[in-house]
Structure 1
Amino acid sequence: MIGVLALQGAFIEHEQMLRSLGAECRELRERRDLDAPLDGLVLPGGESTVQKKLLADLGMFDELRRRIAGGLPVLATCAGLILLAEDTTQDASPYPGFGTLHVRVRRNAYGRQLGSFSTVQTMKGLGPFPMRFIRAPFIEAAAPDVDVLARVDGNIVAVKQAHQIALAFHPELGRDTRVHEAFLNEVVAAASARRSA
């Protein structure tokens, strides 16, 4: 079961893409939605400040952070990347992020809505991949344990650290399912590792 954070932002598109690949999804809207086990987690794009506040207000933050830190596979896009980041610049939010991804992210790095754009760039392991950026961040710095998957104009826009995949762009808004397939492969690998442990 894939939990999709459904407090705000573009979560429905993630659900539709994952379901098209045969995955079951559960929308996470309140604390009791976390009572059941999850095999993976999607942190969608949207407004990171609003998402941080709602996670705190609804009592969901600590439990989700515990699961992510414990190895729960995560796919994070745009605002989700900001939620995972250990450090963020251009962020005046009084609410913390999860801090499980060893990167420094620049929030709204490409400007406001008018700074949105699309491009096709190479992603490590996938080849050319269509990328749609909407009020997007980028990663200013990444620790040695973070695998850089893609850059645009020299800026890091996709990374992987253990079971966390984080992107500055929105793969759920296109038709290419390869990022979501890679995430589901991480989910399967993590479940297999748990069974053999």
Structure 2
Amino acid sequence: AERHGESVEVEEVRTAGVVPDCDLLLMPGGESTTISRLLRDEGIAEEIRAFAAGGKPMLVTCAGLIVAARDAKDERVETLDILDVTVDRNAFGRQKDSFEAMLDVDGLAEPFPAVFIRAPAIDEVDDGVDVLCEIDGRPVAVRQDNVIGTSFHPELTEDSRIHGVAFFE
């Protein structure tokens, strides 16, 4: 794939040994309990923690945000604790409550078309975490050093600016 003047080779991460060779990492949406179980069972969790600690760029979206958080407020989710936030799973409702919103995101000149599907909200943000945008006073995009987390799905739009900020700036 080529975007932002960069060529990238996409690798799916389903087993240990892939993450250490990556230059950037995206943890997408899906089902957070399933993702966290896969990461633990396959030995990928420690690789992702080391990746984040190494300063390489990461983007975590929706369920990826839940798994990356310090606390998901759900004992079924084993979080990676690489983003100093607390999240509320499905805070914006169920699948039928999905919505789109134009968001003013710090670092983007024009509003971003965000897609929310069973989206989490960020409840608590620790020092060292910058809030990039909010909806109704609730953070929905944050940055901590090399990790950007969004409650929404930037990959479901044709707009790749969030990926650009996360990976190439």
Taking structure 1 as the reference length, the TM-score comes to 0.79
Quote the residue 1:14 is aligned against. none
Partner of 2:87 in structure 1?
A: 105
Partner of 1:124: 106
Query: Using the alignment, how far apart are the partners of 2:164 and 2:57 within structure 1?
Result: 13
Aligned equivalents of 1:185 and 1:32: distance in 2?
A: 24
Letter of the 1:41 counterpart: L
2:61 to 62, 77, 82: 77
User: Paired residue for 1:139, among 122, 131, 152?
Assistant: 122
Shift of 1:69: 2.3
SS in 1 for 2:85: strand
Counterpart of 2:11? 26
Instruction: Give the drift of 1:72.
Output: 2.3
Equivalent residue for 1:175, pick from 140, 158, 168: 158
**Identity in percent:** 44
Shift of 1:166: 0.4
Q: Distance in 2 between matches of 1:184 and 1:145?
A: 19
- AA paired with 1:108? N
Distance 1:64 1:181 in 2: 20
Q: What are the superposed Cα offsets for residues 113-137 of structure 1, whole Å, 9 maximum, x if unpaired?
A: 1111111010011131101000000
- The one-character-per-residue Cα deviations of 1:84-120 (angstroms, maximum 9, x if unpaired) are 111122x230x52110111111111012111111110
- Report if aligned partners of 2:58, 2:167 keep a CA contact under 8 Å in 1: no
The unaligned stretches of length 5 or more in structure 2 are: none
Q: Note the 1:9-48 alignment, pairs <5 A.
A: 19-21=1-3, 22-34=7-19, 37-48=21-32
SS across alignment from 2:17: helix
| Map of 1:163 onto structure 2 | 146
3-state SS of 2:48 partner:
helix
Aligned residues: 165
* Residues in 2 aligned to 1:143 and 1:107: alpha-carbon distance in whole angstroms: 18
User: Counterpart in 1 of 2:167?
Assistant: 184
- CA deviations on 1:58-91 (whole Å, 9 max, x unpaired) are 12112222221232211010001011111122x2
Root-mean-square deviation over aligned CA pairs:
1.4
Counterpart of 2:48 in structure 1 is 64
Give the TM-score normalised by the residue count of structure 2: 0.92
